């Protein structure tokens, strides 16, 4: 199997003159200490085509080139599984995760996960990479999952995520009729007593904020758009239950399963800056078949 090396390039600007390359990479581009340590191993840093050290100082106009290292062998077994690719380049892979699929293999779900599918896809292309999802969504939540193709891309996107620079939008169908067009749920979430899975609102929980907007009202349900200010486990599901409007199909948090047999929640949009170009990137995932059927059923009931 072939390892994958990717080149990162930057033309030094006037403000970079006299600065150490190490300082430019660390402070201007937020290279992590772990990535910088890897760059010190072997000839991975060049200026105008010639090898240099990170401690050397730069000059305006120089072309700084970094060879991002090949990945180690992944412990995840690749499998030939369907993969719905929304976007791909040398640094990122964005997929539309189906309902019922776990993101990362674990003891309960060692196979048929998104990780197995992605590794199988890369193996068929002859590429050796690690599976580095930027985030996870629940097994029965569908939609966008972003995977970094190398440690640098992962570190850059993790930096954006930690600082709230990645904007996530979900769509969900909730029980009941919301009169307000929009609102905010700002309630801390913690693990429910005697449970390893269920969460609940509790004063000692982690700060959690969900903004929502009503997209469409039906006779006994509403389609909402959610914008997450934080990313707690089951956040939307817990917050919807807390205001008396659980997600349709979410029997863990009080939802009815007569119209759909899983929480009617979809990770629809991820907007962020590309880890290399810095340009805005928006990834969108269309509704899966079960949510399209739910839409038809609700529209028919409204007629």
User: CA dist 36 to 5, 43, 45, Å?
Assistant: 16, 13, 10
The pLDDT score that the predictor gives to residue 2 is 45
- The residue count of the chain comes to 303
Q: How confident is the model at residue 1 (pLDDT cuts 50, 70, 90)?
A: very low
- Asked whether residue 266 carries a pLDDT value surpassing 90, the answer given is yes
What is the pLDDT confidence band of residue 71, given thresholds at 50, 70 and 90? low
pLDDT over 90 (residue 234): yes
What percentage of the chain has pLDDT greater than the value 70? 95
Question: What is residue 26's predicted lDDT score, i.e. its pLDDT?
Answer: 86
Q: Which CATH class is domain 167-267+293-302?
A: alpha beta
d(CA 247, CA 267): 14
User: Does the structure show a pLDDT above 70 at 69?
Assistant: no
pLDDT above 90 (res 70): no
User: Residue 194: its pLDDT value, please?
Assistant: 87
Bin 141: left if φ > 0, else alpha if -120 < ψ < 50, else beta. Answer: beta
Please say whether the beta carbons of 247 and 174 come within 8 A. Answer: yes
Give pTM, 2 decimals: 0.81
Is there a contact between 92 and 153 (Cβ–Cβ < 8 Å)?
yes
Supply the pLDDT for residue 30: 83
Mean pLDDT of the chain: 91
| Residues labelled as active-site residues | 138
Angle at alpha carbon of residue 3, lines to 277 and 92, rounded to 5°: 30
HEC string of 153-202? HHHHHHHHHHCCCCEEEEEEEEECCCCCCEEEEECCEEECCCCCCCEEEC
User: pLDDT tens digits, residue range 3-45?
Assistant: 456 778 889 999 999 999 999 988 888 887 878 887 877 678 8
Mean pLDDT over residues 272-279, rounded? 92
- The second-level CATH assignment, the architecture, of 2-68 is Roll (3.10)
> Domain-by-domain residue ranges, the chain?
2-68, 167-267+293-302
67-81, 115-129, 206-220, 267-281: segment of lowest average pLDDT: 67-81
In contact, 123 and 1? CB cutoff 8 Å: yes
**Among candidate residues 231, 233, 298, the one with its CA nearest the CA of residue 264:** 298
């Amino acid at each position: 199997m072939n390892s994958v090396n990717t080149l990162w390039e930057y033309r030094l600007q006037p403000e970079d003159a006299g600065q150490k390359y190490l300082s430019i990479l660390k402070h201007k581009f937020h290279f992590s200490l772990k990535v910088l340590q890897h760059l010190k191993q072997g000839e991975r840093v060049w200026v105008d085509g010639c090898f240099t050290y990170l401690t050397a100082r730069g000059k305006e106009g120089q072309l700084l080139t970094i060879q991002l290292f090949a990945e180690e062998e992944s412990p995840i077994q690749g499998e030939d599984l369907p993969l719905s690719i929304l976007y791909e380049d040398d640094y990122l892979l964005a997929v539309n995760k189906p309902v019922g699929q776990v993101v990362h293999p674990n003891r309960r779900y060692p196979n048929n996960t998104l990780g197995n599918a992605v590794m199988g896809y890369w193996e068929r292309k002859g590429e050796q990479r690690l599976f580095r999802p930027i985030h996870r969504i629940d097994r029965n939540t569908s939609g966008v999952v972003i995977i970094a193709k190398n440690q640098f891309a992962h570190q850059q996107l993790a930096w954006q995520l930690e600082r709230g620079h990645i904007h996530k939008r979900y769509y969900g169908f909730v029980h009941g009729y919301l009169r307000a067009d929009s609102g905010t749920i700002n309630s801390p979430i913690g693990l429910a007593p005697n449970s390893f899975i269920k969460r609940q609102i509790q004063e000692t929980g982690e700060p959690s904020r969900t903004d929502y907007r009503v997209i469409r009202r039906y006779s006994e349900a509403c389609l909402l758009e959610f914008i997450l200010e934080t990313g707690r486990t089951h956040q939307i599901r817990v917050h919807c239950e807390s205001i008396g409007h659980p997600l349709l199909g979410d029997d863990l948090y009080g939802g009815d399963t007569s119209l759909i047999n899983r929480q009617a929640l979809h990770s629809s949009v991820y907007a962020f800056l590309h880890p290399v170009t810095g340009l805005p990137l928006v990834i969108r995932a269309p509704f899966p078949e079960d949510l399209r059927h739910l839409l038809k059923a609700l529209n028919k009931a409204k007629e």
